[in-house]
């Protein structure tokens, strides 16, 4: 897995199609393959390393993007991505297909992220280290992205996570509910609240052409949800 991390691209993404969580326009063959995640995980749990290799190839980029948008540091995001797949390997014998593999995977990713944040807080408290300033997309030169990033930071923590899982990780409502341990209706209401708050924040931003563009993009995403 070590050499694969070099191919991570945090800027990739597409709008998901509702109900499946898969990118819109995905071919039938790709959709069929995506539905085989649970079977691949079951094969890996039964001792097939090839099945894990295929799952890793499918999800290394999305999981890296999940962490990169939250910690804003490429090397750290790569490390947390590796930790997530190591956790998948260690827990493989206990795997039960009670939800989609994506839900299972992102639930593990959240645990890894929370553990990292606890460790960072501990170091800051007991060793006098300033906690890292998490700033997703810090290297982006696009003003619209910077504006959205700043607006996202003002959202309620859970609302922000729901929005990121929907718009960037492309999870369906049911998958988000499974990853966060919340009812689907709660996910829907939090997503609506997050989008509304984000749009209001962007609309109140500096009177340039950037804010209207960001708001227009957000509305377009809502129309495709």
Residue 81 banded pLDDT, cuts 50, 70, 90: very high
Task: Tell me the CA distances in angstroms from 66 to 2, 49, 85, 110, 125, one per residue in order.
Answer: 18, 24, 13, 9, 26
Q: Is 101 helix (H, G, I), strand (E, B) or coil?
A: helix
| pTM score above 0.75 | no
Q: Write the Ramachandran bin of 150: left for phi over 0, alpha for psi from -120 to 50, otherwise beta.
A: alpha
Per-residue pLDDT, 9: 47
Let me know if 189 is exposed, middle or buried by CB neighbors in 10 A (0-12, 13-18, 19+). Answer: middle
* pLDDT one-digit tens code per residue, 189-203: 999 999 898 888 877
- What residues does 23 pair with on adjacent strands? 16
* pLDDT one-digit tens code per residue, 102-134: 999 999 999 999 999 888 776 666 555 555 544
Q: Which domains does the chain have, with CATH numbers?
A: 1-139 (1.10.1740.10), 142-225 (1.10.10.10)
């Amino acid at each position: 897995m070590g050499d694969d991390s070099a191919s991570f691209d945090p800027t990739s993404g597409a709008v998901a199609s509702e109900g499946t969580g898969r990118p819109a326009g995905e071919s039938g063959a790709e959709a069929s393959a995506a539905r085989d995640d649970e079977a691949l995980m079951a094969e890996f749990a039964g001792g097939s390393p090839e099945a894990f290799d295929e799952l890793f190839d499918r999800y290394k980029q999305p999981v890296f993007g999940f962490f990169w948008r939250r910690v804003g540091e490429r090397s750290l995001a790569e490390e947390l991505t590796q930790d997530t797949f190591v956790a998948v390997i260690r827990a493989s014998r206990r795997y039960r297909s009670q939800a989609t593999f994506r839900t299972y995977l992102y639930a593990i990713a959240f645990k890894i992220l929370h553990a990292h944040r606890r460790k960072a807080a501990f170091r800051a408290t007991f060793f006098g280290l300033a906690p890292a300033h998490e700033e997703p997309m810090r290297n982006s030169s696009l003003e619209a992205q910077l504006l959205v990033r700043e607006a996202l930071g003002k959202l309620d923590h859970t609302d922000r996570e729901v929005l990121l899982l929907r718009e960037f990780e492309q999870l369906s409502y049911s998958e988000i509910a499974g990853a966060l341990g919340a009812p689907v209706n709660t996910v829907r209401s939090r997503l609506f609240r997050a989008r509304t708050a984000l749009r209001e924040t962007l609309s109140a931003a500096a009177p340039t052409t950037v804010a209207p563009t960001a708001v227009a993009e957000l509305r377009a995403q809502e129309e495709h949800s």
